[in-house]
Structure 1
Amino acid sequence: MSETIVKPIIAEEILLELQSKMKEEKQVILHCCFKSDFIMEEKIRIWSSTYLVDRNSDHISKLIHFENISLFPTWTDVPVAKEYWFTLIFSGLPDDCKVFDFIELIPQSGGFFQEGIVRNSSDIYRIILDI
């Protein structure tokens, strides 16, 4: 059985606009992969209370845009036994940030969390998420 990977489709003009804004505003892009359970269809969503937190300062980068995932309270269906890709765009991190955490602060269990992401020069990352 071959797996189909569902990747976000972002219009070319939006990508070009985001690239120029990223240079201006130093935005951080996370391409996130959620791996669905093999038993049943799952649902995911993102909350506006999702942040990147610099490990060496009190700086917090806010979520400013999302693609291919719903914002709370709406849910996005994830097909059974598939990888589901979505993209999150955050405000920039400080120039001296070397490591940061991705945290979805929500009033229930099951928020996304990825700690210890090592900063790179492009500020574009691909991460695998578990709930």
Structure 2
Amino acid sequence: METIVKPIIAEELLEQLQSQTVVEKQVILHCCFKSDYITEEKIRIWSSTYLVDRKSEHISKLVHFENISLFPNWTDVPVAKEYWFTLVFAGLPDDCKVFDFIELIPQAGGFYEEGIVRNSSDVYRITLDV
């Protein structure tokens, strides 16, 4: 059996790495789209979807999405059902207390939720209407 030896890293290199480490904060939105129609609906998300801090107007970009298609593709939503998808955004400023969720698109029907009150986990569940 081979012995694994722990490497020795110079203290000054560790200090340099420590100072360069940036803690990545992300905001997660678990979104519920309620289909009220009697026929199947389709939804999608555009890359031009943001979180906007109401105080500083800081904009956090969409960095990841789950269970929803990105424009130009579509996701089918079952008739008269709730459909859940998840969006992950870059972090908001530490002093942000309230933010808006905005999908800026060149047509009607973009997702929009205003006045989301910030919490300590930065994980939210919202219901969307179009």
TM-score, normalisation: structure 2 = 0.82
1:56 aligns with 2:55: yes
Q: State the AA in 1 paired with 2:53.
A: D
What is the match of residue 25 of structure 1? 24
Alignment of 1:1-80 (within 5 A): 24-80=23-79
TM-score, normalisation: structure 1 = 0.81
Q: State the AA in 2 paired with 1:87.
A: T
What is the match of residue 6 of structure 2? none
Partner secondary structure for residue 108 of structure 1: coil
Report the alpha carbon displacement of residue 58 of structure 1 after superposing the two structures with TM.
2.3
Report the alpha carbon displacement of residue 38 of structure 1 after superposing the two structures with TM.
3.4
The CA RMSD measured in Å over matched residues stands at 1.1
Structure ID, larger Rg = 2
TM superposition outliers: structure 1 runs of 4+ over 6 Å: none
1:121 aligns with 2:120: yes
Q: State the AA in 2 paired with 1:54.
A: D
What is the match of residue 81 of structure 1? 80
Q: State the AA in 1 paired with 2:96.
A: C
What is the match of residue 111 of structure 2? 112
Gaps of 5+ in 2: 1-21
Partner secondary structure for residue 23 of structure 2: helix
Q: State the AA in 1 paired with 2:45.
A: I
Aligned residues: 109
Aligned partners of 2:51 and 2:79: how far apart in 1? 29
Report the alpha carbon displacement of residue 37 of structure 1 after superposing the two structures with TM.
1.9
Deviates more, 1:93-102 or 1:34-43: 34-43
Q: State the AA in 1 paired with 2:98.
A: V
Identity, % of aligned pairs? 85
1:130 aligns with 2:129: yes
Partner secondary structure for residue 121 of structure 2: coil
What is the match of residue 13 of structure 1? none
Aligned partners of 1:58 and 1:52: how far apart in 2? 9
Partner secondary structure for residue 115 of structure 2: strand
